[in-house]
Structures are given as structure tokens and as C-alpha cells.
């Protein structure tokens, strides 16, 4: 198996600092309800981890019923980074991966609330390029001609 280059999870503390929902939850903590929301978000983030190797992105999810999914990096077509102004201040973002893999055929794979998202996006981008060169893969988009 490939050696992991990076392993990460979505950040609950980043979500609290970097989203309006997080700030609202902190305000709800004043009356006690927010702690339940934070607990649910923390368990949700704990249940999924991402491991990045030279050739793959491995997604492990679940607490009681577990699943493992992989995306071969040479199949990644697009990597998009989005974040709100508040999330940018908190240093978190959402990385969206589109690929020819079955995992992302219907919709992009979203890695939400990632700390250091910009640096991680650049790392993934570099690894995608290396994986394509290693396999000799080139992407060709077929667009119908306008008549």
C-alpha cells in the first residue's frame, strides 16, 4: 500500500470559526442547545477521514458501519476551492474534486471545512500531475462543434 503523504478530517473548530452556522451555534451555547449541535458536527467530522498518497485519495467513513472509497488521482479532472469571507479568515475551505471515477460521476466529491485548504488543493494538484505523467495519461475533452 502507498505511504500516506497527508491524512486529515473536516475541522469542527474551523467550522465554528469559519461559518455563520458555526457562529450561530456558539450563540446557542449560551442557552445550552449549541453544545448538542457541536457534538453532532464533531461526530460527523470524526466519522470521515481523508488520506492522500502519491496515487490515490482514500476516504474512510463511518463509525459503526464503515466504508472505504478511493479515487485514483490520475482520474481527477478538476479541483475547485471555495470559501466564504469568514471561512477564509478562519483558514478553512471546501475542496471539490471532479473526476472520471464513479465516486464523482454524479456530483463532485466535497471535502468540507478543510484546514489549510489552499495548500492541500495545491498538493493534490501536483500529485494529480505526477500520477498522470507516471501513467502516461492525457485528458482530451470532446466538445461537439457548433453548427
Q: What is the pLDDT of residues 69-104, one digit of tens each?
A: 899 999 999 999 998 888 888 888 999 999 888 877
Q: What topology does CATH give the domain 6-135?
A: PH-domain like (2.30.29)
Q: Are 48 and 113 in contact (CB under 8 A)?
A: no
- If phi over 0 gives left and psi between -120 and 50 gives alpha, with beta otherwise, what is residue 102? alpha
Q: pTM for this structure?
A: 0.78
Q: What is the pLDDT of residues 14-37, one digit of tens each?
A: 888 888 888 888 878 877 778 888
Give the CA angle between residues 110, 101, 52 to the nearest 5°: 55
Q: How confident is the model at residue 54 (pLDDT cuts 50, 70, 90)?
A: very high
| Amino acid 91: pLDDT | 82
Q: Are 96 and 86 in contact (CB under 8 A)?
A: no
Q: How far apart are CA 62 and CA 124, in angstroms?
A: 24
Cα dihedral sign for 108, 132, 127, 61? positive
Amino acid at each position: 500500500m502507498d505511504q500516506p503523504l497527508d491524512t486529515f478530517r473536516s475541522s469542527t473548530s474551523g467550522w465554528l470559526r469559519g461559518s455563520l452556522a458555526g457562529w450561530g451555534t456558539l450563540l446557542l451555547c449560551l442557552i445550552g442547545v449549541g453544545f448538542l449541535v457541536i457534538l453532532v458536527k464533531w461526530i460527523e467530522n470524526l466519522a470521515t477521514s481523508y488520506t492522500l498518497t502519491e496515487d490515490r485519495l482514500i476516504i474512510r467513513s463511518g463509525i459503526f458501519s464503515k466504508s472505504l472509497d478511493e479515487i485514483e488521482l490520475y482520474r481527477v479532472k478538476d479541483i475547485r476551492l471555495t470559501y466564504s469571507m469568514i471561512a477564509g479568515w478562519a483558514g478553512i475551505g471546501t475542496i471539490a474534486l471532479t473526476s472520471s471515477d464513479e465516486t464523482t460521476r454524479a456530483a463532485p466529491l466535497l471535502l468540507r471545512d478543510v484546514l489549510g485548504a489552499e495548500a492541500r488543493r495545491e498538493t493534490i494538484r501536483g500529485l494529480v500531475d505526477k500520477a498522470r505523467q507516471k501513467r502516461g495519461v492525457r485528458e482530451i475533452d470532446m466538445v461537439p462543434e457548433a453548427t
